[in-house]
Amino acid sequence: MNKEIVSDTKMISSTATNKGLHIEEALIFEQGSTDRSGVDLPEISGRSDRLGKLKRLDQIGLPGLSEPEIVRHYTRLSRNNYAIDIGLYPLGSCTMKHNPRLNEAVARLPGFSNIHPLQPPSTVQGAMALIKELEEWLTALTGFPTIALSPAAGAQGELCGLMVIRSYLEKQGDPRETVLVADSAHGTNPATATMCGYRTKSIPSNDSGTLDLQALENMLDNKVAAVMLTNPNTCGLFEGQILEISDAVHKSGALLYCDGANFNAIVGKVKPADLGIDIMHLNLHKTFSTPHGGGGPGSGPVAMTSVLAPYAPLPWIEESASGFTITEHLGDHSQQSFGRMRAWHGQMGMFVRALSYLISHGGDGLRQVAEDAVLNANYIRQGLHKHYSMPYPGTCMHEVLCDDQSLKPAGLKTLDVAKALIDQGFHPMTIYFPLIVNGAMLIEPTETETKEILDQFIDAMITIANHSTSENIAALQNAPVHTPRRRLDETKAARNPILRWLQDTGPSAT
């Protein structure tokens, strides 16, 4: 064995963080060097510099690596990803349900995947017919006559809804200034209202985890423009007083906005329009199985009453005897609309997937989706209620809410349970949300998980709870141990983030 091989062997054996087939490696900026390149290009001579003032004066600072190094680096990183295709994703409030492969096959048909938004309408008649059919399904399921499909995500759907409300109230000469938001709402609710120029006030929940009707009535006055409510709410409970809430809101001259993030729990069972709601957004990725975008693409259609329809965003797809056209001049809509939400009509790929899901299930299948989602959540609740404290009594809807109050005497907290679940082979549930419950653990199995998987998850949760009363408590507080990275100091990471690697000075918070 020559000296070079001996040297390499020592280096490899000293890399104690390598595990199995997992190679510990540095950041890509630490691996490469700016003085080398993975591609050799000849020097260009005999040509004038056409960039002028746009010419880069400083080195770009990208690391030079070969193609195999780059491919291996990102492939190794991808092995650390977790996805719905790997196992149960019990995030409450996120509805991480299976994405059927049929939807993907349909979305990849050339007639849908290869079209461009600038094509003449005459060449995309099939795509426009699909959008209209999706509208028909969504209006049937929600009970609202009008669906605006252009919003790019649930948060933008909220923004669209509040902009419609503001446009409508301004047209009435009564713009108002306040939006009331349930204290258990998603954080996007008050943020959206603030972006629309409203002041926000929080409506408290009662001891049952639902909206306090008396508190709402005391807060309503002629300055309130809208009330933002999620139903079922983020505690996994149906707002049983929704009709009384709606009546109170409308008597004050305000409008009722519904965050439709949890529509998966009632799809095919309840039409939101029948509950006195004026406008709501839907998340195609939550209820209708399109993939979570990871930042995009997403889709957050907004359904609304006929009173609010003229204020919906442009453009519209109009059907006539000669076919479909996209227009910004559809009667009064063009006069009262607040304008466009985005450049194009919406996210076509998500429309195709959602319609594929709707057609393949049909009305009876969608009802079963809601029923099975609620059944699965209550099955988990029944399996855990003797081992974890639950802040609200009775059955739940699509997600079950636990907390860490029964574990605290042993020194265990919600974060410990979440980290220990990783060692048990499960992705953690949503933790510390909703904010109104201390140490919250929000679990949503969705309808697509089998009883066997739910039993495994319940057993893992029970194992952790049982260890909280034993001498193994220290191990739980240091979990996970079977991962490429051990538990991080999240407080330090938040307060002193390393956002960039500076080659001259090493790691530095900048």
Summarize pLDDT for 421-466 with one digit per residue, the tens. Answer: 999 999 999 999 999 999 999 999 999 999 999 999 999 999 999 9
- Residue 20's pLDDT is 73
Q: Is residue 45 part of a domain?
A: no
Q: Is residue 253 part of a domain?
A: yes
The total number of structural domains in the chain stands at 2
**Pair 244, 296 in one domain:** yes
Q: Which of 358, 392, 408 is the last residue of a domain?
A: 358
- Residue 65's pLDDT is 87
Inter-helix orientation angle 451-467/348-384, to 10°? 50
- Residue 39's pLDDT is 75
From 22, 21, 29, select the one nearest 503 (Cα to Cα): 29
Q: Is residue 163 part of a domain?
A: yes
Classified as helix, coil or strand, 345 is coil
Domain that holds residue 215: 101-358
In angstroms, the CA 407 to CA 20 distance is: 34
Report the CATH number at residue 344: 3.40.640.10
Summarize pLDDT for 75-86 with one digit per residue, the tens. Answer: 988 888 888 999
Q: Which of 331, 358, 385 is the last residue of a domain?
A: 358
In angstroms, the CA 331 to CA 308 distance is: 14
**Pair 348, 374 in one domain:** no
Q: Which residues of the chain have pLDDT under 70?
A: 1-17, 293-297, 329-335, 500-510
**Pair 312, 169 in one domain:** yes
Inter-helix orientation angle 188-195/154-171, to 10°? 40
Q: Which stretches of 116-183 are DSSP H helices?
A: 125-142, 154-171
Q: Is residue 74 part of a domain?
A: no
From 84, 90, 93, 89, select the one nearest 286 (Cα to Cα): 93
Q: Which of 358, 393, 424 is the last residue of a domain?
A: 358
CA dihedral sign, ordered 426, 431, 437, 438: positive
- Residue 21's pLDDT is 75
Could you tell me the two tokens for 336? 């009262």
Summarize pLDDT for 86-107 with one digit per residue, the tens. Answer: 999 999 998 999 999 999 999 9
Classified as helix, coil or strand, 491 is helix
Place of tokens 């969504």: 138
Indicate the pTM of the whole model: 0.88
C-alpha neighbours within 13 Å on the C-beta side of residue 24:
12
From 368, 349, 358, 143, select the one nearest 260 (Cα to Cα): 143
Place of tokens 């009305």: 363
CA angle 338, 139, 195 (to 5 degrees): 30
Report the CATH number at residue 432: 3.90.1150.10
In angstroms, the CA 324 to CA 330 distance is: 13
Written as one letter, the residue type at 162 is L
> What H or E segment, with its residue span, contains residue 103?
helix 101-107
From 413, 289, 298, 275, select the one nearest 348 (Cα to Cα): 298
